[in-house]
Amino acid sequence: MFRILKVVPISLCLIFSLAFSDCFAQGLLPVPADNTSSAGSSSAPAAQIPLVLKKKKQKNSKETARKSMHTRDSVFLALSRSDTSGATLLQHLQQYTTTFNQINNTLGEGLDTTDESQQLPTVIKRIGRIKILANTRKSSTLRYLFVLRDNLDHLQDLMNGWQTNLDSVNAKLISNQKEVLRFQSDSLLKNLPGDSTIRAAFLEKKIEVLKLWKKTDSANRKNLFRVYLIQSKISTAFTAMIDETDQIDSKIKRFAIRALGGEFDYIWKRNDQFSHLDSAMNGTMALNQVQVNYFFKNETIVNIISIAFILLVIGWILYNKYNTLRHIDQKQIVIEHTHFVYKKPLVSALLLSITIIPYFYDHPPVFFLECLFLVNIILVLIMVRDHFPISLFRFLFALFWITVAYSLSNLLIQITNADRYLVFVLSILSIIFGVLFYLQTKKEPQEHLKYTRLTLWIFIILQAISLVLNITGRFSLAKIIGTTAVFNLWMTMALYFIIRIIIQVLYLQLHTNRAAHSIIALVDYNSIQKKFRSLLALFASLLWVVFLLENLNIDDWVHDYLVDFLGQRRLVGDSSFTYGGFVSFFLVIWVSSMLSKVISYFYDISAQHNTDLSALKKKNRVSTLLIRIGVFTVGFLLAVAASGFPLDKLTIIFSAFGVGIGFGLQNVTNNLVSGMILAFEKPIQIGDIIEVNNRMGTVKEIGIRSSKLATSEGSEVIIPNGDLISQNVVNWTLSNTNRQVELSISVASGTEIAKVTQTLKDLLTNRSDIMNHPAPQIFLNGLTDKSIDFKVQFWAADISDYLELRSRVLVNISEIFAKEGIQLPKS
């Protein structure tokens, strides 16, 4: 009570002083004027006051307002210290003020719904337009239906992104509304402080927060309603789009059934129910123009990436070509290994990049794909003209014009009689040119590629099937098969050149780094070429299959079927699995295995090509075995995670694996554990010369289960790691690379021993190829009536040269004995 009575007079004084200061500042009370200021103000109008004085007055008014605010805060602080419940209520109101200000600032900046609001009307119009086009084209081709389906797929992806964004915005607005409603139902704010002064300050602050709450509530509700309207429109459009997609899928199925049964009668009977060529061409041009405009408008980023990729490939090939030929001496050998890239570097770069670029896009327009494809086959023709027999070039040149006609026919969005006759003629011409070229390859089999005749047989058979189908009225199937035969033949040629181009650029890359003394210069090109070519062939085959499915117009169906088949969950007891999980598991295991081999290869490659086998360098190197085990272990865990298999079930697998190890895998486990011991203890290193089981050689590889030993005879011995631990292993290079050489020398009986000893010492000392420490030693080893035997011992610095050194010393001894007249014993 005493504290309150003490604080109240002080507080009242502060309040009255604050009130008077506010009144003075707002002009409600007269300000006492001194003589100087009154004189100045009466002598000049307000408009003529200097700008400097105005700025000073503005500054003084800001300082006055700031001081007033600090004074009020001090009063509230003093009041709150006198009443703890009042302080809690004021702090609670301040928290709401901060929250509402943050919400208003966020709403004031605007929500991220601009794209949805602006583009949604256009999307709704496009869906309606696609619906009209799908229902009015009665003689539409399968390509036309897939074009409409691709447009709907793009719109679906776009609206899926919109829905995700709007869900995020809506969640944020709902969170804001919860904060707003929390203020309305906050029971703590219904309490009032006991002190009348504090109660007045609390009520004044509460009125301010209430006004801010109403403003925040109104703004947040408006945004919630606006987002709800946009979501409703998107849901309606999405439903209409899904319905139209189902309608087009039904038409595609009916089209497939009709295509199998036949749209036409026999080819010699004209059918007038289909469109005329002029109508089909006008519709095709209009549709492709709309598609291309939309494509270049919405695929700007991918187009920039594609152009950058082309420039990158061109720069890569040109740099390696000119940099290699500028630094190496044997240019002719390099030219022979890289004749494609050396003679046609720009064509090679464009062929490589343009073949890959279409796979950057998600369902690009057919017109764009066929333009790239025509450029691609022109590049193939250029390569064939300079590097293959003229008969192949003539065949492909004739096929080029057939391909152009097929491309134009493939663009038509309506079935016409003229298109049917065109495909009929193209099939006949393809068969004729194919047969003529096949007969030519039989005359010159050595000049053509290995599978040329097999490829021609497949091409001719497909064109014959297309011809028969067209004659019997199954025009759509005939067109698809004929187009596929021509397009995939070109794709086969393009992929052949791409594999060779990549291999040749790799060859240039290795020679470029060899000239720069890089570690890549130590890579064995022949071994890399064999492994890399098989990998490239695998990817090329997959690319060819994808291209085939696209030409057959079943790529989407195959994709959806595989996704459903691999993603469907199947139950085995209490556990579930998917085939996709198995595929992911083995794929990650394969990638980790390849990665571990590549890392260990590049890590160990310098040691395999280095003749310096000093123990210090070998001890400082970490064993490649640890790298391979580490990479493979991480790969296994990632594979398990990618497959979706529960990690807690691994204990069951490991337990079963342990039981199997205990009974049937003892030797394998022994070798695995021995490999780990070799990796950590390092009793042998890669490059060591060891002797085990009466076999001596150089350690080339230390694997997980076994190690590889290269003998001096050229053979390679595979030794289980368990033998390297359990057997007696002689390591000639464990501590150093020195090797003692021992010779047995015999002279004729009666020869002066001191002379022989001195001669041998003079021969072995002060030589660069024999170590001085330990010094060479000569011992008298035996005396007989026919000979005097000596044992000569000296040390070679490098064990790899000890045999050559031994032979060289024996030759020198023979020469010095002949010079000094020392006789060898007679047999």
Cis-peptide into 646, omega within 30 deg? no
Q: What is the pLDDT of residue 51?
A: 39
Low-confidence ranges of the chain (pLDDT < 50): 1-59, 69, 72, 75-83, 516, 610-622
Element containing residue 433 per DSSP (H, E):
helix 417-443
Which among 424, 423, 430, 429 is positioned nearest to 408, based on CA atoms?
423
For 473: left if phi > 0, alpha if psi spans -120 to 50, otherwise beta; the answer is left
Tokens of 117: 């609001």
**CA neighbours closer than 13 Å in the CB half-sphere of residue 434:** 23
The Cα–Cα gap between 638 and 618 comes to 32
What pairing do the DSSP bridges indicate for beta strands 570-572 and 575-577?
antiparallel
Written as one letter, the residue type at 614 is S
The Cα–Cα gap between 385 and 378 comes to 11
Which among 245, 495, 521, 225 is positioned nearest to 354, based on CA atoms?
495
Written as one letter, the residue type at 663 is F
789 by Cβ neighbours in 10 Å (0-12 / 13-18 / 19+) ranks as middle
Q: 811: Cβ–Cβ under 8 A, 6 or more apart, which residues? A: none
Residues, the chain, total? 827
Q: How does DSSP classify residue 445?
A: G
Written as one letter, the residue type at 450 is K
pLDDT in tens, 554-592: 777 777 778 788 777 777 666 677 777 778 878 887 887
The Cα–Cα gap between 236 and 234 comes to 5
The Cα–Cα gap between 571 and 552 comes to 35
Instruction: Assign 3-state DSSP to the chain and report helix, strand, coil percentages, each to 5.
Output: 75, 5, 20
- Count other C-beta atoms under 10 Å from residue 184's C-beta: 10
pTM (predicted TM-score): 0.60
The Cα–Cα gap between 503 and 339 comes to 11
Which among 756, 764, 750 is positioned nearest to 780, based on CA atoms?
756
Please report which residue ranges of 299-389 form alpha helices under DSSP H: 300-327, 331-337, 339-343, 345-356, 366-387
Q: What residues are paired with 416 via a beta bridge?
A: 275
Q: How does DSSP classify residue 776?
A: P
Q: How does DSSP classify residue 31?
A: P
The Cα–Cα gap between 580 and 598 comes to 27
Q: What is the pLDDT of residue 290?
A: 77
Written as one letter, the residue type at 160 is N
Q: What angle do CA 238, 239, 242 make, to 5 degrees?
A: 85
**CA neighbours closer than 13 Å in the CB half-sphere of residue 204:** 8
Tokens of 369: 């794909």
Displacement of CA 238 from its chain's centroid (Å): 32
The Cα–Cα gap between 449 and 396 comes to 14
What pairing do the DSSP bridges indicate for beta strands 689-692 and 695-702?
antiparallel
Are the CB atoms for 130 and 148 separated by under 8 Å?
yes
Q: What is the pLDDT of residue 244?
A: 84
Which among 178, 397, 150, 417 is positioned nearest to 280, based on CA atoms?
417
Q: How does DSSP classify residue 775?
A: P
The Cα–Cα gap between 571 and 574 comes to 7
Q: What residues are paired with 150 via a beta bridge?
A: none
Are the CB atoms for 790 and 778 separated by under 8 Å?
yes
pLDDT in tens, 368-421: 888 999 999 999 999 998 888 888 899 999 999 999 999 988 888 777 888 888
What pairing do the DSSP bridges indicate for beta strands 787-796 and 716-720?
unpaired
Four-point Cα dihedral 362, 366, 372, 378, nearest 10: 150
Full 3-state SS string of 590-611: HHHHHHHHHHHHHHHHHHHCCC
Q: What is the pLDDT of residue 396?
A: 92
Q: What residues are paired with 783 via a beta bridge?
A: 788
Q: What is the pLDDT of residue 647?
A: 57
Are the CB atoms for 544 and 451 separated by under 8 Å?
no
Q: What is the pLDDT of residue 722?
A: 77
- Count other C-beta atoms under 10 Å from residue 823's C-beta: 13
DSSP string, 247-315: HHHHHHHHHHHHHHH-SS--TTS---SSBPHHHHHHHHHHHHHHHHHHHHHH-HHHHHHHHHHHHHHHH
Q: 134: Cβ–Cβ under 8 A, 6 or more apart, which residues? A: 140, 145, 148, 244, 247, 248, 251
